Amino acid sequence: MDFPLSVGKTWGNLYNVVTVDGQISSKWLNFISFINNILKFLPPEIGELLPVIDISDLIEVAGGNNSFEIPGSDVSFECVNQEVITVPAGTFNAYKIQIYGDKGTHYYAPDAGMVIKILVNLQEYLPFLGDLTFELSETNYS
């Protein structure tokens, strides 16, 4: 981000390579894995991913690549307005920052000292993941 933020401000970025990685786990995935071990209803390549799914493995099985390029640009980000945003960590007055027009949105809250919400439009790049939302769950910032 290019501080200080103000509505209407734009700025660019350098070339980046973004890599998506991590693990997905839940009680439901444990349950599905248990049932699949008995009934074998999932294709083997999917069943082998359970009960804890490694995102890199999932992307590979789906035929994708967990890294993608983001080209550099003079205007990549635009602070379009301020909004009151509620996330699990609280309600904040935040700057809404559009990324590449419609590729994603960040909400930066000065009172939290950080980005409190991120919306990422991944449908185009990773259709099986769809769009993602990240929200600040707690903070002790003062």
Please state, in angstroms and rounded to a whole number, the distance separating the CA atoms of residues 21 and 43: 23
63 pLDDT exceeds 90?
A: no
Q: Where are the alpha helices (DSSP H) in 40-112?
A: 44-47, 55-61
Residues 6+ apart with CB under 8 A from 134: 117, 118, 120
Pairing between β-strand 73-87 and β-strand 90-99 as defined by DSSP bridges: antiparallel
Distance set, CA 12 to CA 5, 67, 103 (Å): 14, 21, 14
Please state, in angstroms and rounded to a whole number, the distance separating the CA atoms of residues 6 and 96: 10
2 pLDDT exceeds 90?
A: no
What is the arithmetic mean of pLDDT over 72-76? Answer: 79
Name the DSSP class of 34.
H
Backbone CA torsion sign across 12, 13, 15, 20: negative
1 pLDDT exceeds 90?
A: no
The better pLDDT of the pair 80, 20 is held by 80
